[in-house]
Structure 1
Amino acid sequence: MTTDSNVLFQNYFSKKRDYDEVLKDNMSVNPDWDMLLQNLTKLGSEELIERQNQMNWLMDENGVTYNVYNDPKGLHRTWDLNIVPFLIHQKEWQDVEKGIVQRAEILNLVLKDIYGKRELIKNGIIPHEIVFAHRGFLRQCDQIQYNTTKNLLIHSADLARGPDGRMWVVNDRTQAPSGMGYALENRVATKRVLPDILSNINVKKSASFFQDYSQMLKNSSPRNVSNPNIVILTPGPHNETYFEHTYMSSFLGYPLVKGNDLVVRNGKVWMKSLKKLKQVDVILRRVDDVYMDPLELREDSYLGIAGLLDVIRQQNVTVVNPIGSGILENSGLIPFMGNICKYFLNEELILPQIASWWCGQTKERHHVLSNLSEFVVKRIDRSNRESIFFCEFLNEKELATLKQEINARPYNFVAQEKISFSTAPDFVNGKLEPRKVACRTFAIAKDDSYSVMPGGLVRVAAERENLRVSNQRGGISKDFWVITDQPEDIVQNYSWDKSTKNTTISDINDLPSHTAENLFWSGRYLGRALITSRLLRMSLNRMSSLKYSNNKTEEESLHYIFEAITTITHTLPGFVGKGKEAVFKNPLKEFNSLIFDEKRMGSLGQTLMSFTNSYYSLRNLWSKDMWRVFDGIKKLWNKYDKNKEHSISALVKLLDNIITKLIAFMGLIEESILVDQGLLLYFIGLQMEQASLTIEKCRALIVVKHDEQLEYEMLEALLTSHESLNIYRYSYRSYLNIDNVINLIILDKKYTRSLTYQLARIQKDINQLPQSESNNGMSKCQLLIAEINNIVQSLDIDTLTKVNNNTFIRESLEYSLSKLSDLLHKTSLSVSDTYFNHSYQQTQLVNQNFPLQ
């Protein structure tokens, strides 16, 4: 070996204890890995470190995340992808593929039988307790008939290399199997970072599998239509694999919906769009069984659709996979899979399983209890990862407690042989280390059989000696290569439907109402964040200037500006409420709170947090460039200690950077989606927030008449916070006066930041929104925005600037702005009531309890 290879493989070969994917028993290198290892050695340790850094950067930049609850790294933890792939040769993969197809077929037949004739129980193939004692068996799904060729349309199996060197099945995933999107992103990232390593290795492509996937969803439609309405149902942004939900939505082109986007009417499922209800044909779900229908299953669920099961019974919608398929994720079935296979197919299992003993049988239970420390014990219906007991690590008291539990409910436990997963090379700290690996494969129903993804998702233990392989426990991922001796002749082309040349372009009527609402509010939060940042920056800059000036007028103007900030941002008590004297003595402390306190309503921190929530709900719509800008804002924000009192210059620097990034984000939005596909809602929200805050700034800063110099200071503050001072100087070339400022900021019809322009734009955009088919006239929000614009058109500069000599208030200006603010608020409420109403809810007549534990 060269010096580089010696460094790269240092300590890898010296401690071979278990089956290793690279090493044979005689310590020679597996020839299937030879070319990959040569390529890695050619690059050398330093170059590989650089490539791993590029991979980490790419995962971060693309926003590939895996949510881990209560994780110190935060909710949206970056996905870890190691640059060294896992590979298996096509010769071995063919047998694995056959085994996966066989297993999917068996489980499909089991699913039909359990909710159908139940011959497996009647003929003694499986004990009835395994089915009826499992939480995954849903009696509400009994005898439901489906119009698809298979009941089980997607199957996923976790595989690990067994002690005999063959791939063994560890678990089955059948409710809403995750990992397919991550596997696809792993391949995309690996090709980008390691093109030279891929160049002389023949890796099977996955394009045909994803074409089968898309076709399977279309074929599942109960209606014979060329373009069925398919949606992806997600629990929402806090779900651990939410990135994948958004990724597959973007990749396949299907809307991502939440439960309250869908509703049951007249025996069918409908998606709430802006104009009307649109019938849904296929639901690709990422929500667990019992949460899918609060009317018949868990009544406290907000994730599903009330009445869904009845629609399924009428075969008016297809859910992939069927509700109730969680019964197949049942470790109690594993000891009986061999007999099930013989019963249905008259075949032996192709893929071996972990040796398992169901404790509901007397002989098996006695064997388990007598040798408990040698087993891994699972509950057949485990609801969380803590339901696995690695008995070799339990003390005497814990073993005794577990024995009591097994004796109390023996039917609820399965013991499995402890096997040690194989190891594969992982690039860590400049060298290769053997790490435990597990693979997840995916099969899709196709015609009378199943199509298997070439490869899948590989997960690696986080530490060298770690026995557990889990993303929730800090696991790492790898790209999964199925290699061949000859290059494939096919081109990687993710074209879903080659038969259709001209398809109907989706428009705003295909937009789920929840997505539309988040577009509207993302516009509002983005506008609020930008205007608040500019207002705070203007004030801080004036504070800084005052340090080097003894100008009493500037000091007085700053007093009024501070009060205006509290009024505009609604961050009471602040500079106007109880205890304001103390706040004025240390205004910098208040500014730190206004910027960083995420729990304070109206603060910049709270606004950015609200925008972040809307952003994550919409990330299937945004481009990668938008994610990078957004991630830049997040990283910039996280660099600052929120509990520290920062200096004026530090705060101004932060606000400068945030403003720049917010403007960049706003500029990219129009590149992501068409106006007719929902961007219109964003524009309405943005303009509405800008108009509302323009009104608030004018009321706070120029309604009161001041002495000439102080008046000048207030006008300059308004123009500066509005980013309009240069426009004013260029347009009027005169000393600041109230008439010109009102003309520019409020009345100018051509200036994009003027109130008149913003309100006219809102009216134009609202008039483009879909109107209800039952509404022959103007909607309420149309009438309100029309009234607003009529008021603005009637405003007169002489009347607006007239001052009451007793109160020194421009009463007409205050009255007009107050009226406009009230009507604009009503318009916003009307838009929400018209287009984003999710209040419809059904409840169960009889309470049904589906405990989580």
Structure 2
Amino acid sequence: MNPPTATTDAPYRPLDGCYDEMVDARGETREHWTPLAEALRGLGTAALLDRRAEAARLLDQDGVVYHAYEDQRSDAWLLDPLPTVLTSREWLLLEAGLIERAELLNLVLEDLYGARDLLRRGIVPPEVVYGHDGFLRACDGIRLPGTQQLFSYAADLGRDASGAWVVVSDRAQAPSGFGYALENRLVVSRVLPSLYRDAHVHRLAPFFRQLRTALQEAAPPGVDDPRIVVLSPGPWNETAFEHGILASTLGYPLVEGADLTVRRDGVWMRSLGRLEPVHVILRRVDGDSCDPLELRADSLLGVPGLVEASRRGVVSVVNTLGSSALENPALLAYLPRISRHLLGRELRLPTVPSWWCGDEDGRAEVLARLDELVVRPLSRGAGSATVFGWELSNHELEELRARIEARPGAWVGQERVITSSTPTLTDDGLVARRSLLRSFAVARNDSYAVMPGGLTRVAPDDGDGRISNQAGAISKDTWVLASEPEHLTGFWLQTGPVVEGIDPMAQVPSRVAENLFWLGRYAERAESVTRLLRVIDDRRTEFEGSDNPAGVEALRTLLQAVTRVTATEPGFLGDGASQRLASPGTELRDLVIDERRPGTVGHAIRGMLGAAYAVRDQLSTDTFLVVGTLDRTIGGISGAARAATVQAALGKVMQSVLAFSGLAQESMVRDLGWRFMDAGRRLERALQLLALLRATVTTDRGTAADSLVLESVLAAGESLITYRRRYRSQAQLATLLDLLLLDDGNPRSLAHQLARAAEDLAELPAGSGRLREDQRRVLEASTALQLADVGGLALSGADGDRPALSAFLDEQLRLLEEAALALERDHFVHRLPQRTLS
């Protein structure tokens, strides 16, 4: 019989020749799936697709992406709202097998970088270990406190045709997926809330509390209150989102290699104006990239001297440097033998059958079955990626055979595992797709705690190729159904003595402060240019192609002004300007969408996004509601040519940057990070205003044209309504300057920006106690502004120019540009280019 299914178009059909998670061999729904299957049938395909769209929206709001390193592209994280479901009884068996495997690999790791008894006894051939690039000789003898040298572990699991679990691969380098599994759970519990509540699913929170406890317990001896950081390769790493959510969830700073430095007495984080000790590093950087002195000399991601600091035990790096040796595919061929030697028994969870070609019998097996095995290089240096023998032509098989025979020790053959299928939501309803489960373990006392469930990934189509994020795999939440109400333990809320908070200054690395500063500047730049472009678009509607000389002159002035303000020459200046002035649409569109051209809205938004991703752990999830909208807005009109599309995009950009401004003002704590961001906003807003005034009002063009120009300047400065209400119809340059320059009560005025910038700068580390250069320059600008006579500044010379106003604006621009440069020089650390010693 057909099982309950959510699709009204066709019954759910499991794939042939493999175990299906939802239905058994007779086509009946498995007992533990029945409540969910009935609920899905009741919802129907249309409602489920709505839930999928809602899940995608929530992921987008949270800024969940999977990056592509090569072109800094952000791919959406794909989530199927239908979970994979496991019973509590089955999970207990699986959990025991995972703990046993983690304990075994912990013993192997300890031996490989210690006594190497496995090699001496011939249980593992030395060529297998030493031929794998994950074995880092420089890390010999490095130990973590306690018995667990393998801090965290992940296993990729699949079911064979009988439904038995098989370990396809081990992940011990810096296992990824923790954060994505947590995000999947948050989203699925929101889009299927009643199903989630009724299913009594084991919670993930205890696992993350144990992760935090394990990090604290990994501290070097004698450190009672360790300082812990999360080391990331940077915002464009494939799993950068996870690094940010881990740092936020655990409450630890997210750092990059440049934020850390090694001294004789330990590892330190470069905070603002001082160094802060670091005792434990949760690394998300590949082990061989962690130290350019002793490992990869060309790495820019690591910390020079980190291996030596780990060797001396003054810092604990987890996962342990060198743990990537456990990801050796050839090691899988010897794991059963290792288990019998170290544990005295076979592993509960079998490993996918594997053969190392450096062994004569293993090579014979692989070559005899080359067309039906998975063939993997021992190391990346073998010059090939994993290949599937059944996909190769006869010629390709012969080429592979020749390569194996030429270097047999560099290759491993593995049995093809036809993994289980699981129901996956598509536009046509539920279809069966092959799946893999990645489950996670973290050290707990002398053993391991396992995340209940984990990260399920399914193939993007009905093929049986590789299931990976790079290949477009779709993720799923994994539900372990509790047989009885879960007993809550390990509460976050604690009694006892009041815990002292950490000095906020110690939590802000120089890199973070710099990114927040530029986040503020780019956000303000995007807003200011957007306002100006919207004003220009309105004037185009009125006067493009018009025979009104004042209107044409005003439009020309504004077009030339946008080129000067954005520094996007030639634009509406220089060669070809007359043609672009006559037909400005293309240039104006490029000023919105050209992300590679400095000064455009697109470039400012791209800079804003990069800065936001780099400090994800410092920002609330609400911030990425705005960030994601900006990303989509610019990307959505890249090929648009219609003016209406550009105008609509400008409206969306304005909406988003205003929302970001509101979040910054109402939701962020006034700590040092906020001060840097706000100082960036204030300085940028002041510079944009000064540049606009310099480009528009320093020349007298006559009453008619200037009336239109001044009105446009007030609109671009978000002060037109205030001006009309205050001065009614009596428009004058002097009163405009008073409102835009001197009126501290106007949040768009220069005076207001200088006052706020002075407040922000006063809160930054003071150094010697005297005024820093950035403070002096802002004070000079503020003093000159207070002494300014707007009546005198508004006077025109005989040639129509306003030399006093031009000189005043130029001086203000100089002082504020120097203030910004001084702030960067005094507070941000810019590392010199690295050169290899070789």
Q: Normalising TM by the smaller chain, what interval?
A: over 0.9
Q: Is the 8 A contact 1:214 1:496 kept in 2?
A: no
Deviates more, 1:312-321 or 1:258-267: 258-267
Q: Distance in 1 between matches of 2:246 and 2:682?
A: 31
Q: Distance in 2 between matches of 1:283 and 1:654?
A: 43
What is the letter of the counterpart of residue 825 of structure 1?
E
Match for residue 828 of structure 2 among 831, 836, 852: 836
1:684 matched to 2:679? The reply is yes
Q: Distance in 2 between matches of 1:630 and 1:6?
A: 35
Q: Is the 8 A contact 2:279 2:314 kept in 1?
A: yes
Query: Where does residue 626 of structure 1 map in the other structure?
Result: 623
**Map 1:377-416 → 2, pairs under 5 A:** 377-382=375-380, 387-416=385-414
Query: Where does residue 512 of structure 1 map in the other structure?
Result: 509
**Map 1:635-646 → 2, pairs under 5 A:** 635-642=632-639, 644-646=640-642
What is the letter of the counterpart of residue 248 of structure 1?
L
**Could you say if the C-alpha distance between residues 268 and 8 of structure 1 is closer, same or farther in structure 2, counting changes exceeding 3 Å?**
farther
Deviates more, 1:508-517 or 1:321-330: 508-517
Deviation for aligned residue 1:21: 2.2
Q: Distance in 1 between matches of 2:527 and 2:69?
A: 31
Deviation for aligned residue 1:303: 1.1
- Secondary structure at the counterpart of residue 457 of structure 2: strand
Query: Where does residue 778 of structure 1 map in the other structure?
Result: 771
- Secondary structure at the counterpart of residue 238 of structure 1: coil
What is the letter of the counterpart of residue 784 of structure 1?
R
Query: Where does residue 592 of structure 2 map in the other structure?
Result: 595
**Could you say if the C-alpha distance between residues 741 and 423 of structure 1 is closer, same or farther in structure 2, counting changes exceeding 3 Å?**
same
- Secondary structure at the counterpart of residue 66 of structure 2: strand
Superposed CA offset, 1:177-226 (max 9, x none)? 00111111111112111122233323222222211111001111226455
- Secondary structure at the counterpart of residue 742 of structure 1: helix
Q: Which runs of 5+ in 2 are unaligned?
A: none
Superposed CA offset, 1:229-253 (max 9, x none)? 2111111222111111111122111
- Secondary structure at the counterpart of residue 387 of structure 1: coil
1:536 matched to 2:533? The reply is yes
Q: % of aligned pairs identical?
A: 37
Superposed CA offset, 1:461-498 (max 9, x none)? 1112333221211111111111232222327x872866
Q: Distance in 2 between matches of 1:689 and 1:111?
A: 53
Q: Distance in 2 between matches of 1:359 and 1:535?
A: 67
What is the letter of the counterpart of residue 542 of structure 2?
S
- Secondary structure at the counterpart of residue 85 of structure 1: strand
Deviates more, 1:512-521 or 1:4-13: 4-13
Q: Is the 8 A contact 2:2 2:11 kept in 1?
A: no
What is the letter of the counterpart of residue 716 of structure 2?
S
- Secondary structure at the counterpart of residue 550 of structure 1: coil
Query: Where does residue 583 of structure 2 map in the other structure?
Result: 586
**Could you say if the C-alpha distance between residues 384 and 823 of structure 1 is closer, same or farther in structure 2, counting changes exceeding 3 Å?**
farther
Deviates more, 1:476-485 or 1:427-436: 427-436
Q: Is the 8 A contact 1:207 1:494 kept in 2?
A: no
Q: Is the 8 A contact 1:358 1:365 kept in 2?
A: yes
Q: Distance in 2 between matches of 1:841 and 1:657?
A: 40
Deviation for aligned residue 1:164: 3.9
Query: Where does residue 37 of structure 1 map in the other structure?
Result: 37
Query: Where does residue 200 of structure 2 map in the other structure?
Result: 202
Query: Where does residue 65 of structure 1 map in the other structure?
Result: 65
Query: Where does residue 609 of structure 1 map in the other structure?
Result: 606
Query: Where does residue 713 of structure 2 map in the other structure?
Result: 718
Query: Where does residue 800 of structure 2 map in the other structure?
Result: 808
Deviates more, 1:148-157 or 1:579-588: 579-588
- Secondary structure at the counterpart of residue 284 of structure 1: strand
What is the letter of the counterpart of residue 233 of structure 1?
L
Query: Where does residue 850 of structure 1 map in the other structure?
Result: none
Deviation for aligned residue 1:508: 3.5
Q: Distance in 2 between matches of 1:81 and 1:816?
A: 57
**Could you say if the C-alpha distance between residues 822 and 504 of structure 1 is closer, same or farther in structure 2, counting changes exceeding 3 Å?**
same
Deviation for aligned residue 1:720: 1.8
Q: Distance in 2 between matches of 1:751 and 1:536?
A: 22
Q: Which runs of 5+ in 1 are unaligned?
A: 848-853
Q: Distance in 2 between matches of 1:135 and 1:700?
A: 60
Q: Is the 8 A contact 1:235 1:259 kept in 2?
A: yes
Q: Is the 8 A contact 2:65 2:241 kept in 1?
A: yes
Q: Distance in 2 between matches of 1:161 and 1:371?
A: 22
TM-score (ref. length: structure 1) = 0.94
Query: Where does residue 821 of structure 1 map in the other structure?
Result: 813
What is the letter of the counterpart of residue 646 of structure 1?
R
What is the letter of the counterpart of residue 241 of structure 1?
T
**Could you say if the C-alpha distance between residues 53 and 575 of structure 1 is closer, same or farther in structure 2, counting changes exceeding 3 Å?**
closer
- Secondary structure at the counterpart of residue 670 of structure 1: helix
Deviation for aligned residue 1:70: 6.8
- Secondary structure at the counterpart of residue 165 of structure 1: coil
- Secondary structure at the counterpart of residue 82 of structure 2: coil
Deviation for aligned residue 1:719: 1.2
- Secondary structure at the counterpart of residue 316 of structure 1: coil
Q: Distance in 2 between matches of 1:469 and 1:600?
A: 38
- Secondary structure at the counterpart of residue 783 of structure 1: helix
- Secondary structure at the counterpart of residue 268 of structure 2: strand
The alignment of Structure 1 onto Structure 2 pairs a total of residues equal to 838
**Map 1:696-707 → 2, pairs under 5 A:** 696-707=691-702
Q: Is the 8 A contact 1:574 1:580 kept in 2?
A: yes
Deviates more, 1:384-393 or 1:829-838: 384-393
Q: Distance in 1 between matches of 2:718 and 2:515?
A: 27
Deviation for aligned residue 1:505: 5.3
**Could you say if the C-alpha distance between residues 778 and 336 of structure 1 is closer, same or farther in structure 2, counting changes exceeding 3 Å?**
same
Query: Where does residue 851 of structure 1 map in the other structure?
Result: none
**Could you say if the C-alpha distance between residues 752 and 378 of structure 1 is closer, same or farther in structure 2, counting changes exceeding 3 Å?**
same
Match for residue 727 of structure 2 among 720, 724, 732: 732
Deviation for aligned residue 1:604: 1.7
Deviation for aligned residue 1:348: 1.9
Deviation for aligned residue 1:435: 1.5
Q: Distance in 1 between matches of 2:826 and 2:392?
A: 59
What is the letter of the counterpart of residue 770 of structure 1?
P
Q: Is the 8 A contact 2:14 2:20 kept in 1?
A: no
Q: Is the 8 A contact 1:246 1:620 kept in 2?
A: yes
What is the letter of the counterpart of residue 821 of structure 2?
L
Superposed CA offset, 1:255-289 (max 9, x none)? 11111111223342211112311111111111101
Deviation for aligned residue 1:631: 2.2
What is the letter of the counterpart of residue 531 of structure 1?
S
Query: Where does residue 51 of structure 1 map in the other structure?
Result: 51
**Could you say if the C-alpha distance between residues 764 and 614 of structure 1 is closer, same or farther in structure 2, counting changes exceeding 3 Å?**
same
Q: Is the 8 A contact 2:14 2:23 kept in 1?
A: no
Deviation for aligned residue 1:15: 5.5
**Could you say if the C-alpha distance between residues 33 and 561 of structure 1 is closer, same or farther in structure 2, counting changes exceeding 3 Å?**
closer
Match for residue 790 of structure 1 among 783, 791, 795: 783
Q: Is the 8 A contact 1:215 1:496 kept in 2?
A: no
Q: Is the 8 A contact 1:306 1:842 kept in 2?
A: no
Q: Is the 8 A contact 2:526 2:601 kept in 1?
A: yes
What is the letter of the counterpart of residue 674 of structure 1?
V
TM-score (ref. length: structure 2) = 0.95
- Secondary structure at the counterpart of residue 156 of structure 2: strand
Match for residue 649 of structure 2 among 637, 654, 658: 654
Alpha carbon RMSD of aligned pairs, Å? 2.4
- Secondary structure at the counterpart of residue 675 of structure 1: coil
Q: Distance in 1 between matches of 2:262 and 2:454?
A: 36
**Map 1:755-766 → 2, pairs under 5 A:** 755-766=750-761
Q: Distance in 1 between matches of 2:382 and 2:629?
A: 35
Deviates more, 1:201-210 or 1:515-524: 201-210
- Secondary structure at the counterpart of residue 622 of structure 2: helix
Deviates more, 1:672-681 or 1:570-579: 672-681
Q: Distance in 1 between matches of 2:13 and 2:732?
A: 81
**Map 1:167-178 → 2, pairs under 5 A:** 167-178=165-176
Deviation for aligned residue 1:351: 0.8
1:490 matched to 2:483? The reply is no
Deviation for aligned residue 1:671: 4.2
Deviation for aligned residue 1:326: 0.8
1:325 matched to 2:318? The reply is no
Q: Distance in 2 between matches of 1:317 and 1:89?
A: 41
- Secondary structure at the counterpart of residue 134 of structure 2: coil
Q: Is the 8 A contact 1:670 1:679 kept in 2?
A: no
**Could you say if the C-alpha distance between residues 17 and 671 of structure 1 is closer, same or farther in structure 2, counting changes exceeding 3 Å?**
farther
Q: Distance in 2 between matches of 1:3 and 1:92?
A: 22
